[in-house]
Amino acid sequence: MTATLALSSDRAATPALGAAEVPRQLARLVVVDRARPAIRVADFTALPQLLRAGDLVVVNDAATLPGSLHGHTADGAAFELRLAGPIDGVRLTGVLLGAGDYHTRTEHRPPPPPLRRGDHVTVGDIAAAVTNVEGRLVALDAERGDDALWQALYANGSPVQYAHRPELLPLWSVQTAYAARPWAAEMPSAGRSLTWDVLLALRRAGIALARLTHAAGLSSTGDAALDRALPWPERYEIPERTSRELAAAKARGGRVIAIGTTVVRALEASGGAAGPGVATLRLGPESTLDVVDGIVSGLHAPGESHFELLRAFAPRSRLLVALDVAATHHLSAHELGDACLVV
């Protein structure tokens, strides 16, 4: 079933969105369609019917890292390291939080113990040297690399957790159905509800699928200045096949639908060309989109960087009405909640 609410110029105050975790098979979509004046709510499983034959859906196949590691300094002061991106050789780059655990909201965690370049720390059971410090942002070089480092990471780390969740999230629960290389600091969650059943239904509806890998970063650091700079530069890689699929979709008049803001950043940074790169652009209402025509994303509030990116697809007023509709129908803005489609 779908529900609708007509767009109104006299918008009431936005009700609060929910924050519950939603099973991926039961997620819903707020549908913001340029061809229709009304905002709809539909089951996520209806996505194939909401798109058109000839469209191309592009996913981010980055697997989520077990990137939360508890550590201590040489004199025993405790901290948490949250990886901000992929491991690069022996290099671990991330954000430090003070003592505590996920039951305390990130922004309420105490500052980490002071570190300087050359200090030695232990994260999990990984011994490492500090190679750079910029406030809470730190780079560490582990004393072991290759398989030994990866084994230690998976033995000691857990995925980034969320304070309002009573129990630890297991690593498997924050992976997409098509997860591949472990590059993501947090789950590319817009694709969480793309189950194999939905993916198969897309193909049966004549909608093509393609992938890329983008190192989805942290959503919060606990430091206001660092948070204002999000999203940071992030690595991506566009396969040759995906570049060809993009060109073919444009040639047949199909739309390119990005599953998540990370996919938008990678495609717009690359122009759809194959190869590796680093996405540095910050997309917003003034941006011109050259590759992507529509997006599936989580539900984001004004002031969040993801909300500003969504303004590249729809006016602020329309997105605010979409949030009203989502709240009215008790949708969840949790990272593991419901979503929106803007086309």
CB atoms under 10 Å from CB of 117, counted, come to 11
pLDDT digits (tens, 9 = 90+) for 237-250: 999 999 999 999 99
pLDDT over 60 (residue 13): no
pLDDT over 90 (residue 102): no
pLDDT digits (tens, 9 = 90+) for 203-244: 999 999 999 999 999 998 988 889 888 899 999 999 999 999
Over residues 53-73, mean pLDDT? 97
* CB-based burial, 174-184: b 16+ in 10 Å, e otherwise: bbbbbbeebbb
Over residues 132-136, mean pLDDT? 94
Domains of the chain with CATH codes: 18-63+169-342 (3.40.1780.10), 67-156 (2.40.10)
CA dist., res. 40 & res. 342, Å (int) = 11
CA dist., res. 276 & res. 216, Å (int) = 15
pLDDT digits (tens, 9 = 90+) for 169-178: 999 999 999 9
| Angle formed at CA 14 by CA 10 and CA 20, multiple of 5 degrees | 155
pLDDT band at 10 (very low <50, low <70, confident <90, very high): very low
Over residues 150-165, mean pLDDT? 92
- Token duo for residue 6: 């007509």
**Among 53-57, 77-81, 299-303, whose mean pLDDT is lowest?**
299-303
Over residues 132-138, mean pLDDT? 94
Q: What does residue 242 show for φ and ψ, rounded to 5 degrees?
A: -65, -40
The set of residues, in sequence order, having a beta carbon less than 8 Å from that of 53 and lying 6+ positions away, is: 205, 206, 207
Over residues 79-100, mean pLDDT? 95
Q: Which residue type, as a one-letter code, is found at position 131?
A: T
Q: Contact, 54 vs 248, CB < 8 A?
A: no
| Angle formed at CA 218 by CA 214 and CA 222, multiple of 5 degrees | 165
Instruction: Kindly state the percentage of the chain with pLDDT values over 90.
Output: 81
pLDDT attached to residue 167: 85
pLDDT over 60 (residue 15): no
Residues shown for the chain: 343
pLDDT band at 84 (very low <50, low <70, confident <90, very high): very high
CA dist., res. 138 & res. 167, Å (int) = 28
pLDDT over 70 (residue 6): no
Over residues 37-64, mean pLDDT? 97
pLDDT attached to residue 195: 97
Average pLDDT score over the chain? 92
- pTM summary value: 0.93
pLDDT attached to residue 12: 39
Over residues 24-32, mean pLDDT? 97
Over residues 272-286, mean pLDDT? 95
